[in-house]
Structure 1
Amino acid sequence: MKIALAGNPNSGKTTLFNAITGKTEFVGNWPGVTVEKKEADLKKKYSVKGTDVRIVDLPGAYSISPFTSEEAITRDFVLGEKPDVIINIVDGANVSRSLFFTTQLLELGIPVIIALNKSDILAKRGDTVDANALGQAIKCKVIPITATTEEGLSNLINETVKIGKEKKSQAAPSFAGKDSADSDKARQKFVDEIIAKCQVKKRDASQITFSDKVDRIVAHKWLGIPIFFLVMWAVFSFSIEGLGGYLSGYFNDVVFGEVVPDAANSFLEGLGVSPLLQALIVDGAIGGVGAVIGFLPLIMVLFFCLSLLEDCGYMARVAVVMDRFFKKIGLSGKSIIPMIVGSGCAIPGVMATRTIEDINERRMTTILTPFVPCGAKLPIIALFAAVFFPESTWVGPSMYIIAICMIVIGGLLLKKLFVWENTSSFIMELPEYKIPSIKHALIQMFDKAKAFIYKATTIILVCNTLVWFAQAYSWRLQPVEDQSLSILASLGSVIAPILIPLGFVGWQLAAAAITGFIAKENVVATFAILLAVASEEALHLPGGALAELFTPVTAFAYLLFNLFTPPCFAAIGAMNSEMGSKKWLFKGLAFQFSVGYVLAMLVTQIGSLIVYGKTAVGFIPAVIVTIIMAVYLVMAIKKSDVKRGELGVEV
């Protein structure tokens, strides 16, 4: 039996899906989080004897007539694949809005059961919805539930399976035969009449609520951005300098610095393994992966905090605050949603851009979303912060501030260079503030940890093994004592000249940057492998082996270079899918590389003059590159202005 979950955005579909299937799909309190249908079997707790049940979570929709790509997916699935039953999730806090979509589903001839969700919010408000009266009015079974606490879910599944076996569709009211506008008016009038009979509101709609009072501060047009920066500073301080940093220090120093390597060496020596193979396993595989996994506690704490912020309703306010600024650069508040999702991983962040209808805005958002520091970039931030800025709490939050600045500047440049005009509008209903669910935050935290460990023990493990081999052998496959004679050194030396204007000298820096394009965590793992041979000190210690390759200024620049150049290969694949054009993909990658390159160059050259009172390595090449870039931008913008004038597009 196939059961589809359908409802308005932010009605609780994915929360219900996770609860009855045991999955951990991302849940957000804004529209556009679910951008494609997701399927899973019913978990054992809710299984019905003798019936195999498949649950399909559909993207949020306000109407069966699609306006967005998500609504098109929902419409196509419901009409094309004909599920046995549709569970229509109705937001108990917004019953009137939800029932408009319900009346359309009831006309399709597919059995429908209504899950009246968010009963806890109704109780908190003192409002009531008579489920029996509602069911009689629309001739459909209505089951009150609270998806977050799983209250009423067993009853919902049992009734759904029962209806599915009967295969009887409801005698729904029909609004066909009228034109679209008249049909919608008649439908809404029908819904309003039902609401008047079934819902009792004790709260005056004009009354100022607690959420309204808080929004006057956190969503203020001038205070909103500084408050967001303060919140992110607090989260990063707690994650990097506080609990997360303390636990990661223990993992790096003790677990992967002593216990695991010592145990592995003893075990391999006992087996009589050759020293070369032992070095490959301990220094290459374990050393590289351990350097990355050592930062796992920090990442878990950070995502736990971010999940709490999202669940309480704050991140939805961030989208609204950003909307007025994003409109200035050709984007809208819809673009902040992929960027927030991308803070966990750039891949789903890029995929979330498909919710943006305007093709130009979607492409621009796809290019800019990877600028947001994702989970894979956090080990790089943590490593460089620990080694070069051990007493500072500003490094982590500054990455988000710089990311927002680069998104704004990048958006302005893209709009100027490619003659893009914004046509999207952003309308979003803000959820009420609520006490965040610790359970939900823990689930999200462990889900991110599981994905991080899986990546570390697959892609990163393979890459680290190859890196160790490449730094230990020459092209003739002969072991080398001097790393500069290795395969890796020769590959890095080819790229190294490109990085000289950035003040980065040495094939090691180029090699680490190259491996970072496979997976950003590889930057940390590569340095761990390369420096383990030259030094016995732990990689993350202040003033340790890594400090021999950088000054604090060039370290900060190298951090920016790895954060703002193109993302990992998997995210580039997602960009290719969402761009819909190889030409625009390569334009986007070139733009991203240019932003990261120029940003790192400016930080190195200007920072060295300010901090050290002298020019950095590569100053003259940097001046030449700057002149070339400036001339190109002026010419490209002039060309775009001419094209803009021909098309009549306003800036």
Structure 2
Amino acid sequence: MRIALTGNPNSGKTTMYNALTGSNEKVGNWAGVTVSKKEQKIKNAYCNNQELIAVDLPGAYSMSPFTSEESITSTYVKKENPDVIINIVDATNLSRSLFFTTQLLELGIPMVVALNKSDINSKKETTINVAELSKQLGCPVIETISTSKQGLNELIQAATKQSTQKQTAPFHQKEIDLTNKNEVENADRERFSFVNDIVKKVEHRKIQTKDKNINDKIDAILTNKWLGIPIFAVVMYLVFEISQVWVGTPIADWLVAYLEMSQAWVGDLLANANPLLSALLVDGIIGGVIAVIGFLPLVMVMYFLIALLEDCGYMSRVAVVLDPIFKKVGLSGKSVIPFVISIGCAVPGIMASRTIRNERERRATAMLAPFMPCGAKIPVISLFAGAFFNNAGWVSTLMYFTGIVLIFLGALLINKITGYKARKSFFIIELPDYKIPSLWQAFKSMCNRGWAYIVKAATIILLCNTAVQIMQTFTWSFTVAETADASILATIATPFSYLLFPIVGVLSWQLAAAAVTGFIAKENVVGTLAVCFVGLENLIDTEELVLMQGAGQEVAGIIAITKIAALAYLMFNLYTPPCFAAIGAMRSEMKSSKWVWGGIGLQFGVGYTVAYFVYTIGTLFTAPETLNTVGALAGLFIVAIFVITIAVLIKKANKKVKEEYALTSK
């Protein structure tokens, strides 16, 4: 039996789905968290030996889909014919929720209403007559609290029983012409009127919605047009400072020390083994993975703090604050949610763009989301911040706010290239009530994301580091390379080092190899650097692996680049195209190869341009005598190609707009 879980966004669907199935799907105190259909078998504790499948559908306000994720819900319910629907209704906002409920009832599919968040209602001294509501709707209504699993047994029992019953609808919409705007509006008004009549009969509020409460007072500060953005900046600075300086770094130092002891223990076991095998396994494979895992505490602390911000309801307010600014570049506050999610991982961030109705805006958001440094880039940031800038917290903050600036600039470029015309638009978002965030939910979210990070380190990064170590060990004739410069890896990476020369000031195939493997997974940048500088030439003593410690030691003397070059190289890795998984997500959401390749080109061009100007201008101010003229001119040539390409595309778009205007004006 298939049970479809439906409801408005932020009604508690995914929390209930996780409670029923034991899954760990992402939940958040904001709309747009669930953007695709998920299926899982319900736990035996609720099934009574029956095979029940729960289907978690994206949140929807209406059966007339407004966005692409709403169409998933509408299509599934109408065409897949679930055995029964559990409609999760937000008890704190009954009038809004029941509009969708009455539409579902008209389909004739057996349905049970889960009156969720009942505990919040009791705190607000609001009561709902459940028996009367059930009578008015013509289906069972069960009070539930998803977070504590209260009422879930009764809910599933009612759903299995209701699945054999014929469903009737209390309201039937008359046949209307959906292309006639007036008829549609009149039909909606009739439905709202019917819903409001039900609410008046069953709900009693001591505090009316129109009365200002503590939420409104907090919102007056957090969403203030002058205070909102500075507050957001301070909040994000504290997130990075806590995760990467105050808490994350001490834990990381302890973890690295323990991992290095384990590495030494394995090295002792292989003391009498073939030296080549020992170097491959201990220094290459294990050392490379440890270099990535050593930054796990920093990533997990950040995940934990972001989860707290999501759960308390603050993220929706951020969308409201940034909406006016985003509108100026052709986006909206809805784009904020994908960008914030991308701080954890670009893949779900890109997928979250499907909540945006406008196709151009949705594609632009998916294209720009990878500019936000994700969890996979944290090790790269931490490595260079620790090695070159004494673990300064401002490095991370600068990288994230640079990402935001690049999003704005990228959106402006996309507008020019696509011939976007400014239009009046409205941004509507639900502001959930503030609540004390659940430490347990934040911990689970942190562990879930952290586990995904570990799995990647144990699979993709392990394989990549192994391949890097093997290529660095052998020549093309598969004999052991006398020096790393004669290895397969050096010959492959050397051509790319010429591309990097204008932004780092040196020809380093090691840096080039790390940048190339970073396109597979950004964590590989750290792993590859660790492998390359612990190779056959023993450039770094294995007891002093500064690349694994990421704390206050000068790597500049080892890889021969300045602090300005390190900053430029860091930005190149952060703002050029993301990992393959994120590019795959871009292709899935954009549904256009032209847009995907355009996005990759824009990301590479922007990342290279930023890195070039940071290195060139920074060097001119700090040590102009060290700036290589040939390298500066070569880099300027590459940047010029990018700028000219953008100019040609803009000119082409303007010509198309003029042609369209000429046709419409005739």
TM-score bin (small chain): over 0.9
2:633 to 597, 616, 620: 620
* 8 Å contact from structure 1 (residues 35, 352) kept in 2: yes
> What residue ranges of structure 1 are gaps of 5+ in the alignment?
none
Identity of aligned residues (%): 48
| CA spacing shift, 1:516–1:52, aligned 2, 3 Å | same
Deviations 1:123-161 (A, max 9, x none): 222111111111111111111111122222222222222
- State how 1:159-238 maps to structure 2 within 5 Å: 159-164=158-163, 166-177=164-175, 179-238=183-242
Q: For the residues of structure 2 that align with 1:190 and 1:404, how far apart are their CA atoms? A: 45
| CA spacing shift, 1:104–1:476, aligned 2, 3 Å | same
Specify the SS of the correspondent of 1:47. Answer: helix
Q: For the residues of structure 1 that align with 2:32 and 2:193, how far apart are their CA atoms? A: 28
Q: For the residues of structure 2 that align with 1:599 and 1:632, how far apart are their CA atoms? A: 17
> What residue ranges of structure 2 are gaps of 5+ in the alignment?
177-182
The CA deviation at 1:579 is 1.8
Q: For the residues of structure 2 that align with 1:31 and 1:8, how far apart are their CA atoms? A: 9
Deviations 1:465-505 (A, max 9, x none): 00001111111111113111111111111111111221342
Q: For the residues of structure 2 that align with 1:229 and 1:201, how far apart are their CA atoms? A: 37
Q: For the residues of structure 2 that align with 1:581 and 1:627, how far apart are their CA atoms? A: 27
The CA deviation at 1:170 is 3.5
Bigger mean CA deviation after superposition, 574-583 or 587-596: 574-583
2:529 to 501, 506, 527: 527
> Counterpart of 2:458 in structure 1: which amino acid?
T
- State how 1:288-437 maps to structure 2 within 5 Å: 288-421=288-421, 425-437=426-438
Q: For the residues of structure 1 that align with 2:221 and 2:478, how far apart are their CA atoms? A: 64
Q: Counterpart of 2:491?
A: 490
Matched, 1:242 2:246: yes
Q: Counterpart of 2:179?
A: none
Q: For the residues of structure 2 that align with 1:623 and 1:325, how far apart are their CA atoms? A: 31
Deviations 1:435-460 (A, max 9, x none): 00111100100001110111100111
Matched, 1:255 2:254: no
Q: Counterpart of 1:460?
A: 461
Q: For the residues of structure 2 that align with 1:357 and 1:578, how far apart are their CA atoms? A: 12
Matched, 1:574 2:574: no
CA root-mean-square deviation: 1.9
Matched, 1:107 2:110: no
Q: For the residues of structure 2 that align with 1:574 and 1:628, how far apart are their CA atoms? A: 28
Q: Counterpart of 1:555?
A: 566
Bigger mean CA deviation after superposition, 544-553 or 451-460: 544-553
> Counterpart of 2:635 in structure 1: which amino acid?
A
| CA spacing shift, 1:137–1:375, aligned 2, 3 Å | same
* 8 Å contact from structure 1 (residues 503, 616) kept in 2: no
* 8 Å contact from structure 2 (residues 556, 563) kept in 1: no
Specify the SS of the correspondent of 2:54. Answer: strand
Q: Counterpart of 1:127?
A: 126
The CA deviation at 1:635 is 4.5
The CA deviation at 1:546 is 5.4
Deviations 1:202-238 (A, max 9, x none): 1133322212111122211122121111111111111
Q: For the residues of structure 2 that align with 1:639 and 1:220, how far apart are their CA atoms? A: 40
The CA deviation at 1:634 is 4.2
Q: Counterpart of 1:150?
A: 149
The CA deviation at 1:12 is 1.1
| CA spacing shift, 1:645–1:478, aligned 2, 3 Å | same
> Counterpart of 1:522 in structure 2: which amino acid?
N
Q: For the residues of structure 2 that align with 1:330 and 1:547, how far apart are their CA atoms? A: 45
The CA deviation at 1:623 is 3.7
Specify the SS of the correspondent of 1:66. Answer: coil
Specify the SS of the correspondent of 2:328. Answer: helix
Q: For the residues of structure 2 that align with 1:647 and 1:248, how far apart are their CA atoms? A: 58
| CA spacing shift, 1:454–1:645, aligned 2, 3 Å | same
**Would you say how many aligned residue pairs link Structure 1 and Structure 2?**
644
* 8 Å contact from structure 2 (residues 605, 642) kept in 1: no
Specify the SS of the correspondent of 1:175. Answer: coil
Structure-2-length-normalised TM-score: 0.93
Q: Counterpart of 1:542?
A: 552
> Counterpart of 2:61 in structure 1: which amino acid?
Y
Q: For the residues of structure 2 that align with 1:96 and 1:234, how far apart are their CA atoms? A: 39
Matched, 1:645 2:658: yes
Q: Counterpart of 2:512?
A: 510
Matched, 1:59 2:58: yes
The CA deviation at 1:632 is 4.5
Bigger mean CA deviation after superposition, 621-630 or 519-528: 621-630
The CA deviation at 1:422 is 6.1
Specify the SS of the correspondent of 2:533. Answer: helix
Bigger mean CA deviation after superposition, 28-37 or 187-196: 28-37
Deviations 1:256-314 (A, max 9, x none): 22x21122123344xx6433222222112211111101111111111000000110011
Q: For the residues of structure 1 that align with 2:369 and 2:661, how far apart are their CA atoms? A: 29
> Counterpart of 1:460 in structure 2: which amino acid?
I
* 8 Å contact from structure 2 (residues 30, 313) kept in 1: no
Q: Counterpart of 1:587?
A: 598
> Counterpart of 2:517 in structure 1: which amino acid?
T
Q: Counterpart of 1:444?
A: 445
Specify the SS of the correspondent of 1:329. Answer: coil
Bigger mean CA deviation after superposition, 90-99 or 359-368: 359-368
Q: For the residues of structure 1 that align with 2:644 and 2:601, how far apart are their CA atoms? A: 17
Q: For the residues of structure 1 that align with 2:640 and 2:30, how far apart are their CA atoms? A: 44
* 8 Å contact from structure 1 (residues 360, 422) kept in 2: no
* 8 Å contact from structure 1 (residues 33, 352) kept in 2: yes
Q: For the residues of structure 2 that align with 1:3 and 1:546, how far apart are their CA atoms? A: 59
The CA deviation at 1:426 is 2.2
Structure-1-length-normalised TM-score: 0.95
Q: For the residues of structure 2 that align with 1:526 and 1:119, how far apart are their CA atoms? A: 52
Q: For the residues of structure 1 that align with 2:250 and 2:557, how far apart are their CA atoms? A: 21
Deviations 1:102-133 (A, max 9, x none): 01111111111011111122122211111111
> Counterpart of 1:474 in structure 2: which amino acid?
T
Q: For the residues of structure 2 that align with 1:489 and 1:37, how far apart are their CA atoms? A: 46
The CA deviation at 1:627 is 4.5
Bigger mean CA deviation after superposition, 396-405 or 546-555: 546-555
The CA deviation at 1:86 is 0.5
* 8 Å contact from structure 1 (residues 358, 422) kept in 2: no
| CA spacing shift, 1:422–1:278, aligned 2, 3 Å | farther
Deviations 1:376-434 (A, max 9, x none): 11111111111111152211111111011000111111111221346664210211111
Q: For the residues of structure 2 that align with 1:136 and 1:643, how far apart are their CA atoms? A: 59
> Counterpart of 1:55 in structure 2: which amino acid?
A
Bigger mean CA deviation after superposition, 618-627 or 465-474: 618-627
* 8 Å contact from structure 2 (residues 504, 566) kept in 1: no
The CA deviation at 1:545 is 3.9
> Counterpart of 2:337 in structure 1: which amino acid?
I
Bigger mean CA deviation after superposition, 99-108 or 29-38: 29-38
| CA spacing shift, 1:194–1:622, aligned 2, 3 Å | same
Bigger mean CA deviation after superposition, 567-576 or 594-603: 567-576
> Counterpart of 1:4 in structure 2: which amino acid?
A
Q: For the residues of structure 1 that align with 2:474 and 2:229, how far apart are their CA atoms? A: 51
Q: For the residues of structure 2 that align with 1:416 and 1:48, how far apart are their CA atoms? A: 56
> Counterpart of 1:324 in structure 2: which amino acid?
P
The CA deviation at 1:190 is 1.2
